Amino acid sequence: MSTVNKAIIIGAGPAGLAAALQLHRKNNIDVTVYELRPRPSNIGGSIGIFPNGLRLLHRLGLYDALLARGAIVDTFHIHSLHQGNIGSMDISAWAKKKSGFGFMRIIRRDLLEVLFDAIHGEEIPVHFDKRLVSIEEGASSVTVTFSDGSNDTADILIGCDGIHSSVRRLHVDPATKPEYSGIAGSGAIVSTVGLPEMLRKEANIIPTTAGVIAMFPCSAAGDQLYWFLSRETPIPYSESGNERDGWEVRRQQEMEVFKSTIREMTKPAQGEWRGVLAALVDRTDVIGFYPVFRLPLGGKWYTSRTILLGDAGHAMQPHAGQGTSMALEDAFLLSRVLKEKDWSLEHAFARYEAIRRPRINELYQLAAKNGRRRKATGSWALWVGENVMWARLGLYRILGLESWGLGQTHLVYDIDEVEL
Ligand SMILES: Cc1cc2nc3c(=O)[nH]c(=O)nc-3n(C[C@H](O)[C@H](O)[C@H](O)COP(=O)(O)OP(=O)(O)OC[C@H]3O[C@@H](n4cnc5c(N)ncnc54)[C@H](O)[C@@H]3O)c2cc1C
């Protein structure tokens, strides 16, 4: 029989904050969060959240606050640099009918602020600037120690510390290490003032021979746009032999050449896109560079008193837009299994894993498949791809396939409805 009165959460990202709220409110567990950074993170561009994640944010009571900040972006327009409009689709129309939620694009900082507001509202303690150095697990408790000499003890430890998780590295699964996906993204948030109306309300995607250019409104007023180039990028050479140094040099280079790269790539752009892309380049100031790492599937997720949630356990490529939603689903399911008072902790964690594995594997593979579409290609292959897409989107529209929910069933999955 498991009685969890106190939990330590490492990491104040979406997984850690959602788990803290859910366990505090639904399980009456005394929760403390420890975060590595000196203050709430404000890095990153914007992220997309699909109906399965938005539904859970709604259950956390946060949807209205998010709606006041983020953009609901239902329609995606696909364009060709050479051939004009390829087609459009509503990427979550069917899921929206079933769940009541569409697709939201929101600045990452805004999502975290809304989560933090709720955490403060519940008076859940969050300690910043805490570097975890050791974990000791005993028969009835687990103790964590930080580099400043402080420590804490609880019934369970929840590792929500992202893809480079210390909880995983120090304790749960040191053998599982992040691997590079071969894809990197560079992007910026810019003002939409003076740009065409469609950029303020809808998503616009341009496949190119080098990768994909995408533009998403990311504020409720439509005045902020996140645009990025996502493309195949080889692991950089590093003179020191250290891959991290190589990425740092590559990051610097990307800052210098991003604008000229886009200008060169988009020279053949037709019609209004030529002017739009030039305007985006001109108003781009701070550029973020994100080589995409993931964790290999199949790593260990828990020990007798410690469990990994979110990217710490199963970081996937962002190309299915599901990383945050997976973290939220994890938090909700953990709360449910810990509520089963007749279950031992071991049984609760085992059931958690049995339910999460197939779901994570499915979306991990989908993200990897979508990521492959960002690989460099020849002009001829791009032309064929654009025409296939044109035919597909046309058929989709003519036959009304949107109403069939093709490719959207994973968006209506409800973790609270899954049988334990
Ligand atoms: C370029 C890019 C684009 C993305 N786009 C999307 C998208 O559109 N939609 C989507 O759903 N997902 C997207 N993702 C994925 C998404 O960001 C993650 O899946 C999500 O943030 C996972 O949440 P998390 O809380 O598990 O981890 P994180 O968000 O990484 O949070 C981990 C937290 O733990 C802290 N931490 C790290 N180490 C320690 C430590 N040792 N001790 C204490 N604290 C620690 C970190 O500072 C951080 O605050 C994207 C990711 C990238 C890289």
How high is the pLDDT of residue 272? 77
pLDDT at 365: 97
Whole-number pLDDT of residue 269: 78
Model confidence at 336, pLDDT cuts 50, 70, 90, reads very high
Strand spans (E) along 287-409: 288-294, 306-308
Q: Is the pLDDT of residue 1 over 60?
A: no
- The pLDDT confidence band at residue 243, using thresholds 50, 70 and 90, is confident
Instruction: Quickly state the pLDDT bin for 198 (edges 50, 70, 90).
Output: confident
Query: pLDDT by residue (tens digit) across 366-414?
Result: 999 999 888 888 889 989 999 999 998 888 888 777 777 778 899 999 9
Confidence of residue 100 (pLDDT cuts 50, 70, 90): very high
Ligand 1 centre to CA of 138 (Å) is 29
322 ligand 1 Cβ < 6 A: yes
Residue 205: strand pairing partners? 78, 214
pLDDT single digits (tens) 280-331: 989 988 888 999 999 999 999 999 999 999 999 999 999 999 999 999 999 9
How does strand 71-72 pair with strand 211-217? unpaired
User: CA–CA separation, 328 vs 146, rounded Å?
Assistant: 26
Taking residue 265's Cβ as centre, other Cβ atoms within 10 Å add up to 19
**Residue located via tokens 């001829």:** 380
Does residue 47's CB lie within 6 angstroms of at least one atom of ligand 1? yes
Among 105-114, 205-214, 247-256, 388-397, the minimum mean pLDDT is found in: 247-256
- Which has the minimum average pLDDT: 7-11, 33-37, 247-251? 247-251
Mean pLDDT (the chain) is 93
Expressed in angstroms and rounded, the spacing between residue 68 Cα and the centre of ligand 1 is 22
3-state helix, strand, coil in the chain (%, to 5): 40, 25, 35
Band of the pLDDT at 237, cuts 50, 70, 90? confident
- Residues 244-273 have pLDDT tens digits of 778 888 888 887 788 888 888 888 777 778
What ligand 1 atom has the least distance to the C-alpha of 47?
A: 8
Q: What pLDDT shows up at residue 132?
A: 98
Cα 211 to Cα 207: distance, rounded to the nearest angstrom: 6
Is the pLDDT confidence value at 12 over 60?
Answer: yes
- Of 58-62, 181-185, 355-359, where does mean pLDDT reach its minimum? 181-185
Q: Give residue 312 CA to ligand 1 midpoint distance, Å.
A: 9
Residue 97 pLDDT level (bands cut at 50, 70, 90) = very high
For residue 94, give both structure tokens: 């069917």
Pocket lining: 166 vs ligand 1, CB cutoff 6 Å: yes
